[in-house]
Amino acid sequence: MTQNPATDEPDPETGIESDVAERRELRPEERLELVESERDDFRDKLLRTLADMENLRRRTEREIADAKAYAVTSFARDMLGSADNLRRALESVPQGDGGAALTALVEGVELTERDLLKTLERHGVRRIEPFAERFDPHLHQAIFEAPDDAIPKGMVSKVVQSGYKIGERVLRPALVGVSAGAPKVAEAPGPDAPPAAGAPEDGPTGA
């Protein structure tokens, strides 16, 4: 492509004329091959552009969906403390007849807790209660392991603090105790086992 002497920049009109002139000098089969090559190049660029636009559309839709699903993450995390306090208040009430006033208070706290959990669920926040479920390090945080006759080894035997999820993300893992299985029972010594230290041996004793 030639340059414009006044500006030292390529002259598009002169460049087009030059390209046309160069093509006229080619044989028909060479011109056909050049046109087909340019066609394939344009088609490849078009397909790449369409693929990029489709990927951009999908990524944008995914980002919008994530923004809607997780927009309340910070607010929901702040509300977990209130949910914990309500649960602690209910667990601290002594069992038995505490009178009508105490019963009404407990019912009111239970109702408040249920309403709070329902409100969180409407915004995609769900409580994790994994008792007797297989321990999952992605959802649970083990704080102790202890023998348990009723719960198989590797299962959650106690939920110390409930966990929460928002969408598919863990908002807070559940604090749990994990069963180590039934405690081992000491085997009784066999007939050929040596006597324990300090135990009298069988046989005649001196007078």
Which tokens in the block code for residue 136? 């999952």
In angstroms, the CA 21 to CA 16 distance is 9
* Distance of alpha carbon 139 from alpha carbon 187, whole angstroms: 38
Structure tokens at 103: 């019963």
Q: Structure tokens of 77? A: 């995390």
**Residues 145 and 82 reside in one and the same domain:** yes
Average pLDDT of the residues of the chain: 81
Mean pLDDT throughout 119-135? 92
In a domain, 188, yes or no: no
Whether 47 and 144 map to the same domain: the answer is: no
Q: What is the CATH number of the domain that holds 162?
A: 2.30.22.10
Give me the percent of the chain exceeding a pLDDT of 70: 76
| Nearest in space to 163 (alpha carbons), one of 192, 133, 200, 190 | 133
CA 162 – CA 113 distance, rounded (Å): 13
Beta strands in 139-189 (DSSP E): 140-146, 156-161, 163-166, 169-172, 174-179
Same domain for 55 and 79, yes or no, is no
Residue 51 lies in a domain: yes
Evaluate whether 70 touches 169 at the Cβ level (below 8 Å).
Answer: yes
0.75 surpassed by pTM: no
Question: Is 205 among the domain residues?
Answer: no
Residue 192 lies in a domain: no
For residue 127, the SS3 value is strand
Domains in the chain, number: 2
39, 120: one domain:
no
* Pair 63, 78 in one domain: no
The answer to whether residues 166 and 67 touch, using CB atoms and an 8 Å cutoff, is no
Note whether residue 123 is domain-resident: yes
Whether residues 80 and 165 fall in one domain: yes
- Band the pLDDT of 19: cuts 50, 70, 90: low
Domain that holds residue 170: 73-93+100-179
| Residues 150 and 131 reside in one and the same domain | yes
pLDDT of 207 reads 38
Query: What does each C-alpha distance from 113 to 81, 107, 120, 167, 180 come to in angstroms?
Result: 12, 10, 11, 21, 33
